[in-house]
Structure 1
Amino acid sequence: MKNKIFISLLSLGIFLIGAWFVIQVGGSIGSKSSTKVLTEKKGTSIMDLEGDSKEGKQVKTFNITASSKQWNLNDETIVNAWTYNGTVPGEEIRVTEGDYVRVHLKNDLNVPVTIHWHGVVLPNKMDGVPGVTQDAVLPGEQFTYEFSADNPGTFWYHSHQHSSKQVDKGLYGALIVEEKEKQYQNDQTFIIDEWAVNQQKQNIMNMGSMMSGGMSGDGEADTKAMYDTLSINGKSGNQIDQINMKKGEKGRLRFINAGYQTHYVNFPDQSMKIVAVDGEDIINSSPPSTSLMEIAPGERIDVEFTKTNKTPQAVTLLSYNESTSPVSIPVKEDSVASKKDITQNSSINKSKAINSTTYKSEELLFTDLPKSDVQYTMELNMGMNMGEGMVFQINNDIFPNTAPIQVTEGDIVKVTLKNTGMLNHPMHLHGHRFQVVAKNGEPLENPVVKDLLNVKPGQTYEIYFKANNAGEWLFHCHDNNHADRGMVTILDYKNVYSPFKIGGDMKNKP
Structure 2
Amino acid sequence: MNRKVIGSILIIFLLSVLVAMYFLSSSRSDNQTLPNGVKEDGESILNLKAEASGDRPIKEFKLTAKESDWKFDAENRVQAWTYNGTVPGKELRVQEGDYIKVDLKNELDVPVTIHWHGVILPNKMDGVPGLTQDAVQPGETFMYEFVAGDAGTYWYHSHQHSSEQVDKGLYGMFIVEEKEKTYAVDQSFILDEWAVNSEKESMSNMAGMMSGSMQGDGEADTKEMYDTYTVNGKTASEVEALVLEKGEKARVRLVNAGYQQHRLVFPEGTMKVIEVDGEAVKGTANSSNVLEIAPGERMDVEITQKKAEPWVISGVDSPENSPGITIPVSPKKGVDVTELKNATTNQSEAIMEGTSAGSEELIFNEEPEKVDVSYTMDLNMGMNMGEGMVFQINNDTFPDTPPIRVEEGDVVKVDIKNSGRLNHPMHLHGHRFQVASKNGEKYDSPIVKDLLNVKPGETYVIYFKADNKGEWLFHCHDNNHADRGMVTVLDYEGVYSPFGLDGKADNQPN
TM-score, scaled to structure 2: 0.90
Corresponding residue of 1:301 = 299
- What is the one-letter code of the residue matched to 1:213? G
* Alpha-carbon distance, 1:311 to partner: 1.3
Equivalent in the alignment of 2:122: 123
Report matched runs for 1:176-195 at 5 Å. 176-195=175-194
Q: In 1, are the aligned partners of 2:408 and 2:466 still within 8 Å (CA)?
A: yes
* Residue pair 2:125, 2:146 contacting (<8 A) in 1 also: yes
The answer (yes or no) to whether the contact 2:268–2:346 under 8 Å persists in 1 is: no
CA shift, 1:203, in A, is 7.0
Q: Which residue of 1 aligns with 2:316?
A: 318
Kept in 1, the 8 Å contact 2:359–2:447? The answer is yes
Q: How does 1:483-494 map to 2 (within 5 A)?
A: 483-494=482-493
For residues 245 and 412 of structure 1, what CA distance do their matches in structure 2 show? 45
What do the CA deviations read for 1:47-103 (whole angstroms, capped 9, x no partner)? 110112211210100000000011001110010100000100000110000000000
Aligned match of 2:356: 358
Q: What secondary structure sits across from 1:223 in the alignment?
A: helix
- Aligned pair in 2 of structure 1 residues 103, 426: CA closer, same or farther (>3 Å)? same
Q: 1:419 to 1:321 in 2, by over 3 A?
A: farther
Displacement, 1:198?
Answer: 2.5
- The corresponding residue for 1:382 is 381
Alpha-carbon distance, 1:276 to partner: 0.1
Cα drift, residue 338 of structure 1 = 2.8
Contact 1:376 1:414 (8 Å CA) reproduced: yes
1:406 aligns with 405
Indicate how the Cα distance of structure 1 residues 423 and 34 shifts in structure 2: closer, same or farther if over 3 A, else same: farther
In structure 2, the residue matched to 1:417 is 416
- Superposed, 1:333-348 pairs within 5 Å as 333-339=331-337, 342=340, 345-346=343-344
Q: Give matches, 1:215-226, under 5 Å.
A: 215-226=214-225
- Name 2:13's counterpart in structure 1: none
- For residue 336 of structure 1, report the CA deviation from its aligned partner: 4.8
Q: Which residue of the partner structure matches residue 160 of structure 2?
A: 161
| TM-score, reference length from structure 1 | 0.90
Quick check: 1:408–1:493 contact (8 Å CA) kept in 2? yes
Q: 1:237 to 1:56 in 2, by over 3 A?
A: same
Deviates more, 1:363-372 or 1:326-335: 326-335
Could you tell me how far 1:201 is from its partner in structure 2?
8.2
Alpha carbons 2:260, 2:478 under 8 Å: kept:
yes
Deviation track 1:338-381 (CA, whole Å, cap 9, x = no partner) reads: 32554865479696321111101000000012221100000000
Q: Please state whether the residue corresponding to 1:71 is helix, strand or coil.
A: strand
Distance 1:383 1:265, change over 3 A: same
Residue type of the partner of 1:265? L
2:26 matched residue in structure 1: none
The superposition leaves residues 98-126 of structure 1 with CA deviations (integer Å, 9 ceiling, x where unpaired) of 00000000000000000000000000000
Rounded to whole Å, the distance in 1 between the matches of 2:468 and 2:68 is 38
Q: Structure 1: which amino acid aligns with 2:372?
A: D
Q: 1:143 to 1:201 in 2, by over 3 A?
A: closer
List aligned pairs for 1:30-429, cutoff 5 A.
34-38=31-35, 39-200=38-199, 210-284=209-283, 286-288=285-287, 290-319=288-317, 321-339=319-337, 342=340, 345-346=343-344, 352-370=350-368, 371-429=370-428
1:446 aligns with 2:445: yes
- Computed over aligned residues only, the root mean square deviation of the Cα atoms, in angstroms, reads 1.9
C-alpha separation in 1, matches of 2:159 and 2:506: 13
Q: Is the 8 A contact 2:284 2:357 kept in 1?
A: no
- Closer/same/farther in 2, CA of residues 461 and 201 from structure 1, 3 Å limit: closer
Aligned partner of 1:481 in structure 2 is: 480
Q: CA deviation at 1:287?
A: 2.2
Question: C-alpha displacement at 1:333, in angstroms?
Answer: 1.9
Shift of 1:389: 2.8
**Residue 284 of structure 1, CA deviation:** 2.2
Q: Partners of 2:150 and 2:436 in 1: how far apart?
A: 22
CA distance in 2, matches of 1:384, 1:156: 33
- 1:324 Cα offset (Å): 4.6
The question of whether the paired residues in 2 share the 8 Å contact of 1:52 and 1:122 is answered with: no
Contact 2:424 2:453 in 1 (8 A): yes
Match of 2:505 in 1: 506
Q: Which amino acid aligns with 2:76?
A: T
Aligned equivalents of 2:132 and 2:96: distance in 1?
A: 25
- Using a 3 Å threshold, how does the CA distance of structure 1 residues 201 and 441 change in structure 2: closer, same or farther? closer
In 1, Cα distance between equivalents of 2:217 and 2:452: 17
1:337 positional shift: 3.7
Residues 207 and 225, structure 1, Cα contact 8 Å, conserved in 2: no
Confirm or deny: 8 A CA contact 1:254 1:303 kept in the other structure: yes
Contact 1:319–1:325 (CA<8 Å) still a contact in 2? no
- Does the residue aligned with 2:281 lie in a helix, a strand or coil? strand
Partner of 2:6: none
Unaligned runs of 5+ in 1: 1-32
Q: Which amino acid aligns with 1:365?
A: I
Distance 1:348 1:460, change over 3 A: farther
Q: Is the 8 A contact 1:320 1:348 kept in 2?
A: no
Q: Give the number of equivalent residue pairs.
A: 476
**8 Å CA contact 1:436, 1:447 repeated in 2:** yes
Q: Which amino acid aligns with 2:177?
A: E
Specify whether residues 279 and 489 from structure 1 end up closer, same or farther in structure 2 by C-alpha distance, changes over 3 A only: same
Say which is worse superposed, 319-328 or 301-310, in terms of deviation. Answer: 319-328
Q: Secondary structure at 1:47's aligned position in 2?
A: helix
- SS at 1:91 equivalent: strand
What is the DSSP-based 3-state SS (H/G/I as helix, E as strand, rest coil) of the residue aligned with 1:222?
helix
The runs of at least 4 consecutive aligned structure 1 residues that moved more than 4 Å come to 201-204, 206-209, 320-324, 347-351
- In the TM superposition, residue 429 of structure 1 has moved relative to its aligned partner by 0.2
- State how far apart, in whole Å, the 2-side matches of 1:373 and 1:208 are: 43
Contact kept, 8 Å, 1:277 with 1:356, in 2: the verdict is yes
The structural deviation recorded for 1:405 is: 0.1
Amino acid paired to 1:362: E
Alignment-mate amino acid for residue 494 of structure 1: E
Query: Which amino acid in 1 is paired with 2:474?
Result: F
Task: Measure, in 2, the Cα distance between the counterparts of 1:264 and 1:477.
Answer: 19
Instruction: State the alpha-carbon separation in 2 of the partners of residues 172 and 253 from structure 1.
Output: 18
- CA 1:343–1:463: 2 relative to 1, 3 Å: same
Q: CA–CA distance in 1 between the matches of 2:51 and 2:366?
A: 30
Shift of 1:253: 0.2
Distance in 2, matches of 1:172 and 1:107, equals: 14
8 Å CA contact 1:312, 1:341 repeated in 2:
no
Code of the residue aligned with 1:456 in structure 2: it is K
In structure 1, C-alpha distance between the alignment counterparts of 2:99 and 2:223, rounded to whole Å: 40
Q: Supply the distance in 2 between the matched residues of 1:253 and 1:35 (Cα, whole angstroms).
A: 43
Q: Residue 315 of structure 1: CA displacement?
A: 1.2
AA matched with 1:384: M
